[in-house]
Amino acid sequence: MNKVESQLVIDAPVEKVWEVLGDFSEVYRWAPSVTKSYSTSESSNGPDASRHCEVAGFGGVDETVSQWTDGQSFTYSFSGGGPVAGGSTTWSVKGQGDNTLVHTTVEYDLRFGPIGSLMNALIIRRKIRQSMEMGQEGLKRHVETGELIGTDFRPIVPA
Rounded Cα gap, residues 6 and 136, in angstroms:
9
pLDDT reading at 51 higher than 90: yes
> Percent of the chain beyond pLDDT 90?
87
Rounded Cα gap, residues 89 and 150, in angstroms:
21
Write out pLDDT tens, residues 22-46: 999 999 999 999 999 999 999 989 9
Q: Could you tell me the CATH number of the domain that includes residue 41?
A: 3.30.530.20
Measured in degrees and rounded to the nearest 5, phi and psi for residue 14 equal: -55, -35
Side chain identity at 123, as an amino acid letter? I
Q: Are 115 and 121 in contact (CB under 8 A)?
A: no
Average model confidence (pLDDT) for the chain? Answer: 94
The reported pLDDT for the residue numbered 82 is 84
The reported pLDDT for the residue numbered 11 is 98
Helix axes 14-21, 125-145, angle to 10 degrees: 120
113 occurs within a structural domain:
yes
> Percent of the chain beyond pLDDT 70?
97
Side chain identity at 153, as an amino acid letter? F
48 occurs within a structural domain:
yes
154 occurs within a structural domain:
no
| Structural domain boundaries, residue 42 | 2-145
Write out pLDDT tens, residues 78-116: 988 889 999 999 999 999 999 999 999 999 999 999 999
Rounded Cα gap, residues 7 and 132, in angstroms:
9
95 burial type by CB count under 10 A (0-12 exposed, 13-18 middle, 19+ buried): middle
Rounded Cα gap, residues 58 and 45, in angstroms:
24
78 occurs within a structural domain:
yes
* Number of domains composing the chain: 1
157 occurs within a structural domain:
no
27 occurs within a structural domain:
yes
40 occurs within a structural domain:
yes
DSSP state for residue 47 in the 8-state scheme? T
Report pTM.
Answer: 0.94
151 occurs within a structural domain:
no
